[in-house]
Amino acid sequence: MLKKVSYFKLTSLDRYLLRSFLKQLFYSTFMFLVIYFFSALLAELPTLLKKAEQNTAITMGSVLLNFIYQIPDFFMTIFPFAYLFSTSFVLGNFYRNNEMVAMISSGLSMRRITSPLIFLSIVFSFFLIFLNNEWVPAYNYKSAVLEEQLYKETKAQDVDNIQTYGENGILYFARYYNARSKKFVSAMVLKAKDIDFKILEQNFIPMDFLDQLPVKMQISALKSDDGDERPYFPFYWIVRGDEMVFNEDTQQWIIQKGFKWTWDEQGKLENLEELSLYPLDVQEKPEYFSKETRNLKEMSVKETEFYIDKLKKSKQSYKKEEVDFYSEKYSKPFSILILALFATVLGKFFSRKHLLVMTLIFSFLIGVFYYTLLNIGISLGKEGYFPPFLSAFLGNFLSLGFYFYLAKKQLT
């Protein structure tokens, strides 16, 4: 008869298992991190050496600093696999040395034996969520900025014909915006009397077309289309500028060179003035426009939620961003738990000869299977077949179903 053993009380066998596991996890994480680090470095080295002759920013120190910035993201990538490998290796070693048989003979079930590893995987899953919010985005952003200096290339593509809204009826249009330099090129800022975000759904006149017109004709082009008055006039004012750059000292957007039109309450043009280094009185800071050129991995949870909320309010498409948000910030960190569960039910397959090689092979196959399911769910969500939250976790749910099937087969 099996003895009743508490799941919440650590026994001497639990401590022995955890010591073996944590030691293996430390070595595995360190080795995978080193391999990943130097593989990435060697892959980039030929390109950097070619550019070093023309770019003085490329030094040994700057290259190493860039890869140090990427270590948190490397850790997020390799740690779930390191956990899977360590779980598989330790359990396989216990099977091979008949320690697992001794534990089961003492009255412990397989589920009870592996419960400390599962509990620890849950703790580490929440740790990865914290890490992915507090540390990884900031270091990814630093790496992206430094890489632009090293490669002399803008990794984040400029976004053409930006259209977005701000607080208190402010509307922003620009040919493009770069979050790295905090600069709008060919910008137009409008203060609307009636806040109506339908303006963002209409085919607005491209900024490059406006740039070709004389100043006075720009207003005519904005106000009418084939003689018909546009529905979003009148405004209080419109500011047009060749460039709009954020001043860190004054915390204001500065129009470098441009014009400002002002209307009265009846919609009659009151004033047209030429601007040079003109500070704009608006609330939006560079962070508000960050997603225009920043990758989601460079944004915290709060920043991403803010951006998605902005898309919703302006009635723009946001489903793909929402799927990526739930997937990157919440679903993928729980890969540690899913992979650990698979390792516990497949542990007996790692007890054969050549334990290290077999563990690597089976761990790779389990990882491929899991991430395939995960990506299928993400793809279905982006195509609109499932709600964003469900699609982001669909791979996890399917994997859990498969785990319970294997666990049931193991008992029969």
pLDDT in tens, 170-217: 888 887 787 767 888 888 888 877 655 454 444 455 555 666 666 556
Q: Sign of torsion, CA 294 296 297 298?
A: positive
CA-wise closest residue to 297 among 75, 135, 137, 76: 137
pLDDT of residue 138: 84
Highest mean pLDDT among 5-9, 92-96, 245-249: 245-249
Cα torsion 70, 76, 80, 81 to 10°: value is -20
Highest mean pLDDT among 39-48, 143-152, 166-175, 382-391: 382-391
What mean pLDDT is reported for the chain? 78
Per-residue pLDDT at 312 exceeds 80:
no
Query: How far, in Å, are 80, 139, 247, 310 from residue 291 at the CA level?
Result: 28, 16, 20, 11
How far apart CA 143 and CA 124 sit, in angstroms, is 25
How far apart CA 14 and CA 7 sit, in angstroms, is 10
The confidence band for 230, taking pLDDT boundaries of 50, 70 and 90, is very low
- Which amino acid, one-letter code, is at 316? Q
Per-residue pLDDT at 121 exceeds 90:
yes
CA-wise closest residue to 133 among 287, 337, 302: 302
- Beta bridge partners, 241, equal 187, 258
How far apart CA 252 and CA 99 sit, in angstroms, is 67
| Secondary structure class of 24 (helix, strand, coil) | helix
pLDDT of residue 99: 75
State the average pLDDT over residues 218-234. 51
Q: Which residue has the tokens 């790295």?
A: 180
Taking a C-beta distance cutoff of 8 angstroms, is the pair 317, 62 a contact? no
State the average pLDDT over residues 372-380. 92
Q: Which is more confident, 239 or 46?
A: 239
Taking a C-beta distance cutoff of 8 angstroms, is the pair 141, 294 a contact? yes
Side-chain half-sphere exposure of 332, counting CA atoms within 13 A: 23
Q: Which is more confident, 348 or 360?
A: 360
Burial pattern 64-89, b for ≥16 Cβ within 10 A else e, equals eebbebbbbbbbbebbbbbbbbbbbb
CA-wise closest residue to 58 among 141, 151, 120, 129: 151
CA-wise closest residue to 170 among 315, 307, 282: 282
Highest mean pLDDT among 30-39, 141-150, 173-182: 30-39
Q: Which residue has the tokens 């984040």?
A: 156
pLDDT of residue 352: 57
pTM above 0.85, yes or no: no
- DSSP-derived letter for residue 327 is I
Residues in the chain: 412
End-to-end Cα spacing for the chain:
18
State the average pLDDT over residues 82-106. 81
Q: In what order do the strands lie in the sheet containing 235-247?
A: 162-165, 170-178, 183-192, 235-247, 252-263, 269-280
Query: How far, in Å, are 144, 149, 277, 371 from residue 44 at the CA level?
Result: 14, 15, 41, 26
Per-residue pLDDT at 167 exceeds 70:
yes
pLDDT of residue 333: 92
Question: Could you tell me which residues come within 8 angstroms of residue 402 by beta carbon, excluding any fewer than 6 positions away?
Answer: none
How far apart CA 3 and CA 316 sit, in angstroms, is 60
